[in-house]
Each structure stands twice: as C-alpha cells, then as structure tokens.
Amino acid sequence: MQQKEVHELIDRYLLGRISSPDLERLDQLRKSNPDIEQEIKESRDVMKVLKYLRYKDLRQKLIEIDKSDTDLNSFRFRDLLLGITLSILVLVSFLLWSANFYNPESVALRYFHHFPDASIITMEGKDISGDLSLAIKAFNERKYLLALTKFQSQAQDHDPDISIFASWNILLAHLAFYGPDQEWKNELWHFSATSYAPYGIESKRLYEMINSPLYDYINLHLSPQLSYMKPRLM
Amino acid sequence: MNQLDRNPYLRDEYFIHTIKPGGCNGEKAILGLYTSYYKAVRDIISDLVRINPGCYAQTDDILHDAFLIMIHKIQYETVSVKSLKAFWIGISKRLILNQVRRHRRLIFVEDVEEDYGSSDISPETIFIITEENKAIEKFIEKSGGRCKALLLLWLARYDMDEIAQELKLSGAKMARKIKYLCFNKLRKLLSEGHVIEH
C-alpha cells in the first residue's frame, strides 16, 4: 500500500469516517507496522488539541449568537422607549399647541390681525382717527374692555362700513375678554346672517369653528385640565 | 412553505443528517440547530440550575458545554435520537448532576435515571487539555492563521475542495499538501514533547 493511501486511511479513521473493511485493513497495518501504530497514536493526540481548538472556536460563535440576541433585545427595548418618549412629547406638544391655538383670546386676536387685510376693501379711504383709532390701539395692546367701549361708540355710526367694522370688532373684543357664551354666539350668528362680505364670510367661519366638536373638546375638557396641571408641572 | 420548519422531528432529522457528514453545510446546520432551540433549552437549564443549589456553573456554560457534547456525539458517535432538544436538555441535566455530585460529594443510593440519549457523557474527554497541549495551541495561534484555519476546517469535515475555496488556495491538491505539512509539524512537536516558547 502506498504512503499516500495509508495517510488517507488514517485521516478517515481520525475523522470517524472509516468503513468497516478499511478499519480491518488499518488494524492489520497497525499490527504489522509499528511505525503506523506510532503515527496513529501521535495523530490522536493532535486530534485532541485540534478538537479542543474547534470547540473553543465553536463556543465563541455560540457566544456571539447569544450576544447578538441580547443586543437586539436591548436595541428593541431602547427603540421602544425612545418611540414612547417621542410619542408622548409629540402628543403633549400638540395638546399644548391646540389649547393655545383654540384659546378664545388667541382666536379673537387672530381674526383681529387677519382682518385689516380683508377690511381694506371696505375701510379704504375712511377716517379711522379718534375713537376708532383708540379702539384699534387698545385691542392691539390687549385692553379688550377699553376696546369694547370705544368700538361701541362707533357701532351706531351713520357710515355703514364703519358701523359694521365696529360691530365685528365688538364681537371679537367680547370673545377675547369674556369667552364665547351663548348670547355671544347668537349675536355672531345674527351678524353673519346680516353682514356683507368680507364680514359675513369671516363671521360665518368663526361661528363654525366655535361650534365645532374639536373646539368644544379643547376648551371645555382639555384647557381646564392643562390649567390645573400647569402649576404642578412648574 | 418549508416542511422542515413546521415539523420538529423532520427538522431534527435534517440537522442530524447534515451535521454528521460535516463540511460547509454541516457548519451552517450546527449554528442553525443552536439558533432553533437555545432559548427554550436555556430556560429549562436555568430552572434546573435553580433547583439544584449544589451546581455553581453558569447557565450559559452548561448550555454551551451540552451543545458541544451533543455535536461531538452526532459527528463521531452513532446516536439514535429523535428530538435534539430533548437530547440537549438530557445532556445538560447530566452535566448539572455531575457538578452537584462533585461539589457536595453526593453519593446516590442508586443510579440516577438515564437521561434521554445521554448514555455516556463525559465532557472532560472532549474538553480536557494538558499543559503541553496548551503550548501547542499557543504555537498554532502564533504560527499564522492559515495552519489553524485549515486544520479546523479539516476537522469540521470540509472536503479539500471546500477548504481550498474557503481559504482561497489554488486547489484541493494544495490544500491537502498544506494540511499534511501542518498536521505533521504538530504531530512531531507533540511526540517530541516540545514546549514552544515564543
């Protein structure tokens, strides 16, 4: 038997892949040739070292699988925590923004500041000095009660444009100072039904917003709760 | 849909038949087998360690030791098991009892009940290594990665073509030659009882 063939036989034996007839052949060789017996004995020692290394290597792979799983779990947990925190932040920000956006004073100011653009059509070339000017100034300075009084003095003006401009701003000053009570809503409805553009359209929009469920929810339920929480948060 | 994923017995049979001959597919199957069951087996081992206070080993060490013994048995011995998960748990249980016995000097009045598939489990025969072998290991580590990598692939029963492909060698012939040289070098070192200093 050639040397190469003997080595292959020993390799198969060491790897546990030897067939029964080959094993018998190898046993005979071991008995007849002490060098082969010695080689097999030494090779088995090498196999022990190699097996140790292989299992050490394999164990490292198993540890890496465990670790990747732990990393994945902690990553998932971290992600989840971050997601929840961000969601809470977004929700709280939205609620605070909504409470501020739908606050009666903010609504009144928004409509008041928006209107100069719209009222150019009706108020262009009109004399807005005196009480009217003072009323606008007071509204801008958020002195709503004063603005209300000044606008009321202009509500009966013989010029229908000035009269309707003052009536509209009376409604806004009332909204900013007292909030939207039922009587005010009725007056707004009447105003929107009897006024011409742009007052009619603007007042109708305001009426629809004030009566929307979202506005109701924010002003009747959310704002009081946020106001209650504010001192605690601070 | 893969039937192997649905039927655990078919899947285990597939694992045994792929791991036994080794090679590239065998290595993939080994890691696949571990990934399939390790969470469930770890939970059981954790319970076993808890109810056996004499066992001071870490759950993960038992898990890995038992897995390696199982792989050794599949590759080098004839195992007649149907459920590899049960086999793995059986080996783990025996390892834990060995630990308890060792630490408490416990003598059982009768032999413990035979665990599933674990007729002869002695991790020491697989993992023990002498000081001299440690020196050889050091030598292998330092003599360059190629020798170690090649011998480990050969031990994992990769055929020479696969080894050549894996290590980017010119061919099976070259792989066989390098394997022969590396193995013989190690054999000589061991037979001469060399302790290599580097």
Residue range A44-74, pLDDT digits in tens: 888 888 888 888 889 999 999 988 877 777 7
pLDDT tens-digit map of A31-51: 998 988 988 888 888 888 888
Whether the pLDDT of residue B35 is over 90: the answer is yes
Smallest CA–CA distance from B125 into chain A, residue: A48
How confident is the prediction for chain A on average, in pLDDT? 83
> Mind telling me how many Å the CA of B52 is from chain A's nearest CA?
24
For residue B161, what is the enclosing H or E element? helix B160-166
How confident is the prediction for chain B on average, in pLDDT? 79
CB–CB of A58 and B35 under 8 A?
no
A16 in contact with B, Cβ within 8 Å: yes
A72 in contact with B, Cβ within 8 Å: no
Q: Are A65 and B31 in contact (CB under 8 A)?
A: yes
CB–CB of A62 and B34 under 8 A?
yes
B-chain CB neighbours of A61 within 8 Å are: 31
Whether the pLDDT of residue B112 is over 90: the answer is no
pLDDT tens-digit map of A187-218: 999 998 888 778 888 889 899 988 888 888 88
CB–CB of B35 and A42 under 8 A?
no
Q: Are B5 and B138 in contact (CB under 8 A)?
A: no
| CA B96 – CA B138 distance, rounded (Å) | 31
A-chain CB neighbours of B136 within 8 Å are: 49
For residues B40-58, average pLDDT:
86
Q: Which segments of chain A does DSSP mark as H helices, in order?
A: 3-14, 20-32, 34-101, 104-123, 131-140, 144-154, 160-178, 182-194, 199-210, 213-216, 223-233
Considering only the beta carbons, identify the residue of A7, A50, A65 that sits closest to B152: A50
Return all residues near B154 (Cβ < 8 A) that are at least 6 apart.
B163, B179
For residues A162-172, one letter each, b for 16 or more C-beta atoms within 10 angstroms of the residue's C-beta and e for the rest, the string is bebbbbbbbbb
- Lowest average pLDDT, out of A29-33, B3-7, B120-124, goes to B120-124
> Mind telling me how many Å the CA of B44 is from chain A's nearest CA?
16
Give the model's confidence band at B140: pLDDT under 50 very low, under 70 low, under 90 confident, else very high. Answer: confident
pLDDT computed for residue B197 by the predictor: 42
